[in-house]
Structure 1
Amino acid sequence: MKRWLALSCIAVALPAHAQQSDATDGLGSVAAENPFGRDRNTSVLERNHPEYTPQPARIGALEVLPRIAIGAGYDDNIYAQPSGREIGDAYVRIRPRVSVTRPSETLRLNLSGELDLLRYADRTTENATQYNLGASANYTISRDNRLNLSLAHGRFLQERVSPDSPEQVIRPVRFTVTEGTAAYTRSFNRLRLQGIGSIERRDYRDEVNTLGDVVDQDFRDRTTYTGTGIGEYALNPSVALFIAGSYNVRDYRTRLGPVPARSSTGWELAAGSSFELGRKMRGSLRAGYLQQDYDDPFFQDVSGFLIRGELAYFLSSLVTITGAVDRSVSETGIIGATAYLKTTTSLRADYELLRSLILSAGAELEKRDFSGIERDDDRWTLRTSATYSVNHRLQLRADVQRRTQSSSGLNAGRNFADNRISVGVTFLGL
């Protein structure tokens, strides 16, 4: 089991839905696992240290790995308000998780469940109880044929810094996500073909504002169907070229009132390469075009240049620098807006100061170009963290994060800065 697996035990299963990051989160990395065997270098977070790898309990044919992360911190702007209106508060966060795995070379099964409890000292309306349940099956039909299935269901809260979070609601918007994915992979010597199908259902709950009025959120309920096909050909063990295409249907509930449903269909088409350049770089990059067409003429279609990729640079055996970029069409809960074109770029460095101590620092810029209204957002996220492994059952963590948002245009949103500091401890295994 690789080092990054040990660290990922303290990450939520679906971090995109969770509240802001803190010391109970895990770390990510460009994975070395590749069908063409590109593993000449090992990143800081992948390096295997057996003395710090959590050991699951074995019950018959099953492996059971529990963990619980406990953290405390302070957020100086919990409502993401402009300068001069900030309200801060201390909080405690408890995140127990358990995974049950049936290991097998042909059929690997996994069940997992996580509870995320966030409690504030004074601002109790911001308290959150989130959970996520997941199941997966990895079936190796033969050496050249694989089938992966996964199901997940969870309840989450919309963080206040999100552009879709209504300012006037007393508590953050709650929603559930249910999703399923099936992926089939077929290899023919140097050629690899993959087909992926997924369904995601989102259901948002109405909230109440400070005047006691109901703030409707049902207009955001939707089911998304996505099909993706990828064809990849290895020129040699270090470089492969691929083409990828996807088609989606975003089906909103029938809408009554002045604003119609945002139902749409969209597609992406891109070409790129996955590669390993000597012993210094490993990554994947694609470029192409994307488009989202809306059924109702009230909404403006969204299209543009697509770029997506991740690159790991191995500065030394102890330092890994990872860069990533992603451009996609995101749905929004802002009345009058169609959607927004989101471009995210990030850069992170991981330094193994000691075998037991990893220091990380990163920066991310998310640019949102809204369609249907005059608004552009730039959001920066700066983060540093330190993870210390005492042994294979105990990890300590410290985390500092700063988020800022600059919004411009006739329909501009909030400009704010939010700082969060936290410490945490994670207990792994039995």
Structure 2
Amino acid sequence: MSGVAFVSGGTAFSQQATPLRGSVDENVLQTQQNTPPRPAPRPAVSAPALAGTGDAGIPSDPYQPISPGALPDADAGNLGLNGVPVNDGSPPSGPVDNSGGLNPPPATVPTDIPLPADRATAATQRTRPAQPSLRAGQTPDALTTGALEDETGSNPKAQRTDKDNLPEPALERRFVKPDPEPFAPLGIRAGTVTLRPSISQGIRATTNADDSSDGKSAILSETRLRMRATTDWSRHSAFLDFDGTYDKTLSGQDYSAPNIGLRGGFKLDLGERTTVTGEGGYRYRQEDASAPTAVTGASNRPAVQELDATLGVRHEFGRFFGEVKGKVDHTTYGRAEFPDGTTISQKDRDNTFASVALRGGFEMSPAIKPFAEVEIGKLMYDLTEDSNGYRRSGMRTALRGGIEADFGEKLSGELALGYLRQGIDDNRLSDVDGFSVDGAIKWSPQRGTDVNLGLLTRVEGATAPNDSGSIFYEGRLGVKRQIRSNLSVNAELTASLRDNKDGSGLDKGFGAEVGATYWFNRFLGLDVSARHRITRSEVDTRQTTESSVYMGLTLQR
């Protein structure tokens, strides 16, 4: 019997070969039927047979392993070239070396070519178990498996690698970052709005209850309610603040004074270079007893209500910017009461002020922006003439120049210096004009220390005949230091100057206050403070002195 064998990627070409030709010995068929099926050795393909020069071909020598004992003799008949089992339909007799799967052998491989040295060495180190294929009626023999070495050049042993997805430690052992502000209020969250309320209740002992020139000492109950609502929108922002204080006498001079302030605002970013801002506020207070406009001899301090609103648009042109802002203020005054029960209306003092300010500047650096501003407005009294027959309405103009600063948390704010002039329609009264200074600066020289500076200039009207009014300047410097996470100290200095245009000279005021806050926990704290204020004037009714101490508790959320 003769045949041709082809090896190409594991494909069986025997089905495409021509039918067997020649006679078959009968004793061969009888031997296959009477003896247990055992695969006969397949002859190896010789070189002439591969060439396909004849139909019969010349049989080659049986395959002999390079190293004796590499393969069991019982399984040698089921192996083809290089120890690869022949695909005759029977199950494989042992592990198959698949190391050549990426580079399959060529279709024709001559047998007379010696194996490489590394393959010969690997063959001597590799043993295959004898696992003959089973046929019908055959009893399986005992299987023995030898050691299979992987340390070969073609199939190196896989090394152990470290895992990338290590398991997380237990929750009890996880490191928790400490809260930098463990005593700060948590707030009440509603969607994207967070509300932080607080209420304080304390006792104040003072030497001058109503802060007047003839005030007496008293012990006051002081209640303060504060609420602040802020948003955490990704692009725009808004806020709403409420601050209300009520003082009531417990002993000493009879005194009762509410002070309420409400302010809200928003900021809209209409693109990368256009910003719209707006604010509005309401305040209810009592008129200062040392003010020149205070009614002499009144038994009460008349109420003053202030309502204001601003709206501005800012646009940047490269390194330059421009801003236009409109402002409206309305102020009303309550009735003055006298000890005999009579009252006097102050409606002739009610007024409305409206103005438009134009500001332009350039960016010297990302943090410093100088600017110039011009403001034009109109002061309009509700009554054309006051109780003395004077027309006090008039135009107001202002020219300012300053610097905007934005160094992040380190320093921010603005400072402006300029000239202010308030005209009066009545020719019998002179205009009120003078130097102006305005600004609000926040500075943090180091973490835990905050310094706030506030400066303002305003025009005050008058009610007396031949009195045009005054210009009032005020400055506040406050310092707050966080000594510990639950202990902070603060100090504030105030100074004021009133330039009276009626010839009564200057009114000067000074004040100092120190205090501390200790938090027992995140919700309860203790407040203590002490202050001293004085006012000096050429008019005796405007001179005041007051000293007080305060102690109270604060609840916050």
TM-score (norm 2): 0.61
Match of 1:45 in 2: none
SS at match of 1:219: helix
Instruction: Pick from 411, 414, 423 the counterpart of residue 542 of structure 2.
Output: 414
Match of 2:551 in 1: 423
Alpha-carbon shift at residue 317 of structure 1 (Å):
4.3
1:211 aligns with 2:321: no
Match of 2:196 in 1: 65
Which is higher, the Rg of structure 1 or of structure 2?
2
Q: Residues 279 and 117 from structure 1, CA distance in 2 versus in 1: closer, same or farther, beyond 3 angstroms? A: closer
- Greater length-normalized contact order (CA 8 Å, ≥ 6 residues apart): 1
Match of 1:77 in 2: 208
Amino acid of the structure 2 residue aligned with 1:339: G
Alpha-carbon shift at residue 167 of structure 1 (Å):
4.1
Distance in 2 between residues matched to 1:144 and 1:278, nearest whole Å: 19
SS at match of 2:429: coil
Distance in 1 between residues matched to 2:519 and 2:314, nearest whole Å: 36
Distance in 1 between residues matched to 2:318 and 2:458, nearest whole Å: 32
Asked if the contact 2:420–2:433 (Cα under 8 Å) also holds between the matched residues in 1, the reply is yes
1:253 aligns with 2:382: yes
SS at match of 2:182: helix
Alpha-carbon shift at residue 307 of structure 1 (Å):
3.0
Match of 1:126 in 2: 255
Q: For residues 362-398 of structure 1, what are the alpha-carbon distances to aligned partners after superposition, in whole Å with 9 as ceiling and x for unaligned?
A: 3222111111342321111111122334444333322
Identity of aligned residues (%): 17
Match of 1:329 in 2: 459
Instruction: Pick from 210, 234, 237 the counterpart of residue 363 of structure 2.
Output: 234
Distance in 2 between residues matched to 1:324 and 1:180, nearest whole Å: 20
Alpha-carbon shift at residue 233 of structure 1 (Å):
1.4
Q: Residues 109 and 344 from structure 1, CA distance in 2 versus in 1: closer, same or farther, beyond 3 angstroms? A: closer
1:265 aligns with 2:395: yes
Alpha-carbon shift at residue 192 of structure 1 (Å):
2.9
Distance in 2 between residues matched to 1:150 and 1:278, nearest whole Å: 22
Asked if the contact 2:290–2:542 (Cα under 8 Å) also holds between the matched residues in 1, the reply is no
Higher mean alpha-carbon deviation, 224-233 vs 118-127, is at: 118-127
Instruction: Pick from 299, 324, 328 the counterpart of residue 199 of structure 1.
Output: 328
Distance in 1 between residues matched to 2:442 and 2:229, nearest whole Å: 31
1:384 aligns with 2:514: yes
What does residue range 139-288 of structure 1 map to in structure 2 within 5 Å?
139-254=268-383, 255-275=385-405, 284-288=414-418
Alpha-carbon shift at residue 275 of structure 1 (Å):
4.2
Distance in 1 between residues matched to 2:444 and 2:282, nearest whole Å: 37
Q: For residues 212-233 of structure 1, what are the alpha-carbon distances to aligned partners after superposition, in whole Å with 9 as ceiling and x for unaligned?
A: 3323322221111122222231
Distance in 2 between residues matched to 1:136 and 1:349, nearest whole Å: 26
Alpha-carbon shift at residue 289 of structure 1 (Å):
1.6
Q: For residues 331-375 of structure 1, what are the alpha-carbon distances to aligned partners after superposition, in whole Å with 9 as ceiling and x for unaligned?
A: 345665322122334444433322332222232221111113423
SS at match of 1:52: coil
Distance in 1 between residues matched to 2:411 and 2:269, nearest whole Å: 30
Alpha-carbon shift at residue 245 of structure 1 (Å):
1.8
1:51 aligns with 2:51: no
| Structure 2 stretches lacking a partner, 5+ long | 1-178
Alpha-carbon shift at residue 428 of structure 1 (Å):
1.7
TM-score (norm 1): 0.77
Asked if the contact 1:374–1:412 (Cα under 8 Å) also holds between the matched residues in 2, the reply is no
SS at match of 1:51: coil
Asked if the contact 2:185–2:556 (Cα under 8 Å) also holds between the matched residues in 1, the reply is yes
Amino acid of the structure 2 residue aligned with 1:397: D
Match of 2:159 in 1: none
Distance in 2 between residues matched to 1:342 and 1:396, nearest whole Å: 35
Asked if the contact 1:219–1:261 (Cα under 8 Å) also holds between the matched residues in 2, the reply is no
Match of 1:25 in 2: none
Higher mean alpha-carbon deviation, 372-381 vs 58-67, is at: 58-67
1:90 aligns with 2:90: no
SS at match of 1:138: strand
Q: For residues 3-35 of structure 1, what are the alpha-carbon distances to aligned partners after superposition, in whole Å with 9 as ceiling and x for unaligned?
A: xxxxxxxxxxxxxxxxxxxxxxxxxxxxxxxxx
Amino acid of the structure 2 residue aligned with 1:199: V
Alpha-carbon shift at residue 319 of structure 1 (Å):
4.6
Q: Residues 76 and 226 from structure 1, CA distance in 2 versus in 1: closer, same or farther, beyond 3 angstroms? A: same
Match of 1:27 in 2: none
Q: Residues 79 and 386 from structure 1, CA distance in 2 versus in 1: closer, same or farther, beyond 3 angstroms? A: same
SS at match of 2:301: coil
Higher mean alpha-carbon deviation, 387-396 vs 284-293, is at: 387-396
Q: For residues 107-150 of structure 1, what are the alpha-carbon distances to aligned partners after superposition, in whole Å with 9 as ceiling and x for unaligned?
A: 44445545432211146852133434444333222232222233
SS at match of 2:266: strand
Q: Residues 264 and 52 from structure 1, CA distance in 2 versus in 1: closer, same or farther, beyond 3 angstroms? A: farther
Distance in 2 between residues matched to 1:278 and 1:133, nearest whole Å: 27
Asked if the contact 1:386–1:397 (Cα under 8 Å) also holds between the matched residues in 2, the reply is yes
1:308 aligns with 2:449: no
Q: For residues 373-429 of structure 1, what are the alpha-carbon distances to aligned partners after superposition, in whole Å with 9 as ceiling and x for unaligned?
A: 423211111111223344443333222221111112xx5643221112212322222
1:359 aligns with 2:483: no
Amino acid of the structure 2 residue aligned with 1:96: L
Alpha-carbon shift at residue 163 of structure 1 (Å):
3.9
| Structure 1 stretches lacking a partner, 5+ long | 1-47
Distance in 1 between residues matched to 2:478 and 2:199, nearest whole Å: 26
Q: Residues 264 and 412 from structure 1, CA distance in 2 versus in 1: closer, same or farther, beyond 3 angstroms? A: farther
Match of 1:30 in 2: none
Aligned-CA RMSD value:
3.1
What does residue range 13-32 of structure 1 map to in structure 2 within 5 Å?
none
